[in-house]
Amino acid sequence: MPRMTMIEAIRSALDVSMARNDDVVVYGEDVGFFGGVFRCTQGLQQKYGVSRCFDAPISECGIVGTAVGMAAYGLRPCVELQFADYMYPAYDQIVSEAARLRYRSAGDFTCPLVIRMPTGGGIFGGQTHSQSPEALFTHVAGLKTVVPSNPHDAKGLLIAAIEDPDPVIFLEPKRLYNGPFDGHHDRPVTPWAKHELAEVPEGYYTTPLGKAVTRRAGEGVTVLTYGTMVHVALAAVAESGVDAEVIDLRTLLPLDLDTIVASVARTGRCIVVHEATLTSGFGAELTALVQEHCFYHLEAPVMRVTGWDTPYPHAQEWDYFPGPARLGQALRDILETR
Amino acid sequence: MTSLTPLRFHVPEPASRPGGKPDFSGVSIPKAGSVRRPPVDVAPEEIRDLAYSIIRVLDHEGQPIGPWVPDLSRDELVAGLRHMVTLRTFDARMQMAQRQGKTSFYMQHTGEEAVSCAFRIALGPDDMNFPTYRQAGLLIAHDYPLVDMMCQIYSNANDPMKGRQLPVFYSSRKHGFFSISGNLATQFVQAVGWAMASAIKGDSRIAAAWIGDGSTAESDFHAALVFASTYKAPVVLNVVNNQWAISTFQGIARGGSGTFAARGLGFGIPALRVDGNDYLATYAVAKWAIERARLNLGPTLIEYVTYRAGAHSTSDDPSAYRPKHESEEWPLGDPVIRLKQHLIAAGAWSEERHKQAEAEILSEVIAAQKEAESFGTLHSGSKPSARDIFEDVYAELPPHLRRQRQQIGV
Angle at A160 between CA A155 and CA A165, to 5 degrees: 150
Of chain A, the end-to-end C-alpha distance in Å amounts to 47
Of chain B, the end-to-end C-alpha distance in Å amounts to 79
What CA–CA distance (Å, rounded) separates A167 from A76?
A: 10
Of B143, B112, B114, B138, residue with least CA distance to B127 = B138
Bridge partners for A55 per DSSP? A28
What CA–CA distance (Å, rounded) separates B61 from B380?
A: 49
Neighbour-count burial of B187, counting CB atoms closer than 10 A to its CB (0-12 exposed, 13-18 middle, 19+ buried): buried
Q: Is A65 in contact with B189 (Cβ distance < 8 A)?
A: yes
Catalytic residue (choose from A129, A152, A231, A274): A129
* Cβ contacts of B63 within 8 Å, gap of 6 or more: B32, B342, B345
Which residues in chain A have Cβ-Cβ distances shorter than 8 Å to B161? 104-106
Q: Is B224 in contact with A166 (Cβ distance < 8 A)?
A: no
- Whether the bond between A254 and the residue before it is cis, its omega within 30 degrees of 0, is yes
Q: Give the pLDDT confidence score for residue B327 in this predicted structure.
A: 94
SS3 content of chain A, % helix, strand, coil (to 5): 40, 20, 40
C-beta of residue B252 within 8 angstroms of C-beta of residue B279 = no
- Axis-axis angle for helices B351-374, B146-154 (nearest 10): 50
Q: Beta strands A213-216 and A244-248: pairing type?
A: antiparallel
Chain B interface mutation, best of A105, A257, A260, highest count of B Cβ atoms under 10 Å = A105
Sign (positive or negative) of CA dihedral A77, A83, A84, A90: negative
What CA–CA distance (Å, rounded) separates A315 from A318?
A: 8
SS3 assignment, position A62: helix
The letter for the amino acid at B129 is N
**Residue B171 CA: distances (Å) to CA of A42, A93, A236, B149:** 39, 18, 53, 10
C-beta of residue B29 within 8 angstroms of C-beta of residue B337 = no
Among chain B residues, the shortest Cα distance to A72 is held by B194
What CA–CA distance (Å, rounded) separates B336 from B87?
A: 10
What CA–CA distance (Å, rounded) separates B321 from B335?
A: 24
Q: Is B197 in contact with A70 (Cβ distance < 8 A)?
A: yes
Q: What DSSP string runs through B48-95?
A: GGGGSS-B--B-TTS-B-STT-----HHHHHHHHHHHHHHHHHHHHHH
CA distance B130 to chain A (A): 9
CA distance B221 to chain A (A): 9
SS3 assignment, position B294: helix
Q: Is A142 in contact with B189 (Cβ distance < 8 A)?
A: no
| Max Cα–Cα distance, chain A, nearest Å | 62
Which residues in chain B have Cβ-Cβ distances shorter than 8 Å to A111? none
The DSSP output letter for A135 is: H
Residue numbers in chain A where pLDDT is lower than 50: none
Q: Shortest CB distance from A89 goes to which of B178, B197, B219?
A: B219
| Buried residues in A184-203 as b, exposed as e (16+ CB within 10 A) | beeeeeeebeebebbebeee
Q: Shortest CB distance from A66 goes to which of B171, B196, B392?
A: B196
Of A286, A322, A319, residue with least CA distance to A306 = A322
A152 is an active site residue: no
Q: Is A65 in contact with B186 (Cβ distance < 8 A)?
A: yes
C-beta of residue A212 within 8 angstroms of C-beta of residue A252 = no
| Buried residues in A30-57 as b, exposed as e (16+ CB within 10 A) | bbbeebbebbbbbebbeebeeebbbbbe
What CA–CA distance (Å, rounded) separates B203 from B344?
A: 41
Q: Beta strands B244-245 and B248-249: pairing type?
A: antiparallel
What CA–CA distance (Å, rounded) separates B109 from B149?
A: 15
Q: Give the pLDDT confidence score for residue B177 in this predicted structure.
A: 98
Q: Is B400 in contact with A72 (Cβ distance < 8 A)?
A: no
Q: Is B183 in contact with A97 (Cβ distance < 8 A)?
A: yes
Neighbour-count burial of A325, counting CB atoms closer than 10 A to its CB (0-12 exposed, 13-18 middle, 19+ buried): middle
Each residue's pLDDT, cut to its tens digit, for chain B (410 residues) gives 679 999 999 999 999 999 999 999 988 999 999 999 999 999 999 999 999 999 999 999 999 999 999 999 999 999 999 999 999 999 999 999 999 999 999 999 999 999 999 999 999 999 999 999 999 999 999 999 999 999 999 999 999 999 999 999 999 999 999 999 999 999 999 999 999 999 999 999 999 999 999 999 999 999 999 999 999 999 999 999 999 999 999 999 999 889 999 999 999 999 999 999 999 999 999 999 999 999 999 999 999 999 999 999 999 999 999 999 999 999 999 999 999 999 999 999 999 999 999 999 999 999 999 999 999 999 999 999 999 999 999 999 999 999 999 999 88
Its pTM stands at 0.98
Q: How many Cβ atoms sit within 10 Å of the Cβ of residue B291?
A: 15
Which residues in chain A have Cβ-Cβ distances shorter than 8 Å to B165? 104
Among chain A residues, the shortest Cα distance to B202 is held by A51
What ipTM was assigned to the predicted interfaces of this complex?
Answer: 0.97
Q: Is A59 in contact with B227 (Cβ distance < 8 A)?
A: yes
Helix spans in B100-218 (H) = 113-122, 137-140, 146-154, 186-200
Which residues in chain B have Cβ-Cβ distances shorter than 8 Å to A96? 181, 183, 186
Among chain A residues, the shortest Cα distance to B198 is held by A73
